[in-house]
Chain A
Amino acid sequence: MIEINNVHKSYGPLAVVKGVNLTVNKGEVVSIIGGSGSGKSTLLMCINGLEQIQQGSIRVDGTEVHGAPGTDLNRLRQKIGIVFQQWNAFPHLTVLENVMLAPRRVKGLARDEAEAIAVRQLKHVGLGDKLKTFPGKLSGGQQQRMAIARALAMSPDYMLFDEATSALDPQLVGEVLDTMRMLSEEGMTMVLVTHEIRFARDVSDRVAFFRDGKVHEIGPPEQVIDHPQMPETFDFLKSTH
């Protein structure tokens, strides 16, 4: 379970997240929607400690992410996979090596074990025929699926998606969304920051509308997307169509 309590985050004088409360239960898919600059992506980075927070607390399975001296962030991050908008492939490694690296070096698995896991995950996302290819030779959609496999290879309990399709050409969005949909159907706990409203409605158990660094409205997609209670949510959804 991810518990986010009254989290505040600012970059210098610029407050980005201004008191967010959000709980994500095991097996749940929660989508975060909202305009740019509403603090959605920043919050995601705070969940696995890639960004610091100034106030509040974030707990993952009871482990305090911020400000607790006993927390081993490197260990915690192994169970929180994250996929970024810019897929961030390691360009000097093959697709297979990209996915094998963390299981080998972080988990300390033997080469053949790590390779078996990587091959399985790459086949899972439909890249079984690209193992020896370098990322530079892949399309954006393929690189993003590789990034998903790379995160999955650590067998995470949670997957965070930070606008995973925003940087893709329109015709490549579908293949990545299909992969994400597949994960949700397998019961993966997921937090998605997304601009794909229709996709969010299809896969989410709950949708949170962020506005001005706070959760402005949250509920099942039938409520937040189909029948928003807040006028700002309504305006936002109208503007995205």
Chain B
Amino acid sequence: MLSTSFTGNDLLFMLEGAWATLRLTLWAMLLGTLAGVVLGLLRAALPRLTMPLAWLLDVFRSVPLLIQFVLFNALKSIAGLEWSAFAVGCVVLGIYCAAYCTEIVRSGVLSVSANVNRAARSLGMTYFQTLRYIVLPMATRVSFPGWINLVLGVMKDTSLVLWIGIIELLRASQTIVTRIQEPLFVLCIAGLIYYVMSWGVAWLGTVVEKRWQEND
């Protein structure tokens, strides 16, 4: 029977959508952070040589994500790649994250003063030892709040994947809205679920930051 009120099944459907949102966010952040750390370190170490990389990443930061999704999805079909919509979503979001994360990491690394670098080198530490034991831990503390912001942003940007046919939280909500014609009510619930997920991330961020701040 087609019910016209909000049922428990609808809530389950939305939670399934929320799970897709979380999975997308997780994969995108994983891909984006790994790539962002490597590219950010390169950008900081070799600023001139990696200028073209900066221009390329600027494209991903400047073109609206929606356009990137649609273009990449079309490209995928033209190239004959048999990727699922979910994979496309992860890759596009991952590259988008990488573009932001590169800048976050770069600025973090550059925040470590040349003097501290010198002090480490003067003790006989190699470039990579200095990077591992001094620069990266210090840069992580500086970059972390920006990175948490990125996670929160990406979690909400995942809603754009509904345009390439993935049922995540927002798409699930719209489906229900179409049936029960209660957009405000359903969107409030969707917003609440987004809020709870974001709150979890922000809370984790605060816990980690507090632990670091005790040392300062």
Chain A contact residues, CB within 8 Å of chain B = 45, 48, 50, 74-75, 77-78, 80-82, 84, 86, 88, 90-92, 101-102, 105-106, 134, 136, 147, 150-151, 154
Contact = CB atoms under 8 A, between A and B. Distances in A.
Contact of A75 (B118, B119, B124): B124
Contact of B119 (A78, A80, A88, A136): A88
B125 A106 contact: yes
Nearest to A134: B215
Contacts of B125: 74, 101-102, 105-106
Nearest to A101: B133
A151 B116 contact: no
B122 interface: yes
Interface of B: 113, 115-116, 118-126, 129, 133-134, 137-138, 141, 212, 215-216
Contacts of B138: 90-92
A82 B141 contact: no
B119 A147 contact: yes
A106 B216 contact: no
Contacts of B141: 92
9 contacts: A82-B122, A88-B115, A88-B116, A88-B118, A90-B120, A90-B133, A90-B134, A91-B138, A134-B215
B129 A92 contact: no
B216 A91 contact: yes
A105 B122 contact: no
B121 A50 contact: yes
Contacts of A105: 125, 129, 133
A50 B122 contact: yes
A75 B133 CA distance: 18
Residue from A88, A101, A106 with most neighbouring chain B CB atoms (10 Å): A88
A146 B216 CA distance: 16
B117 to A, nearest CB: 9
Contacts of B121: 50, 74, 77
A50 B127 CA distance: 12
A45 B114 CA distance: 13
B119 A77 contact: no
A85 to B, nearest CB: 9
Given A92-B141, A106-B129, A74 B116 contact: no
B124 A102 contact: yes
Contacts of B113: 88
Given A92-B141, A134-B215, A106 B124 contact: yes
Given A101-B133, A105-B129, A136-B216, A86 B115 contact: yes
A91 B215 contact: yes
Nearest to A86: B115
Contacts of A90: 116, 119-120, 133-134, 138
A59 B33 CA distance: 45
Contacts of A48: 122
Given A92-B137, A92-B138, A105-B133, A77 B123 contact: yes
Contacts of A74: 121, 124-126
B115 A84 contact: yes
B115 A106 contact: no
Contacts of B216: 91, 134, 136
Nearest to A82: B122
Given A84-B115, A91-B138, 14 more contacts: A45-B118, A48-B122, A74-B121, A77-B121, A78-B123, A84-B118, A86-B115, A88-B118, A88-B119, A90-B138, A91-B216, A92-B138, A92-B212, A154-B124
A103 B212 CA distance: 25
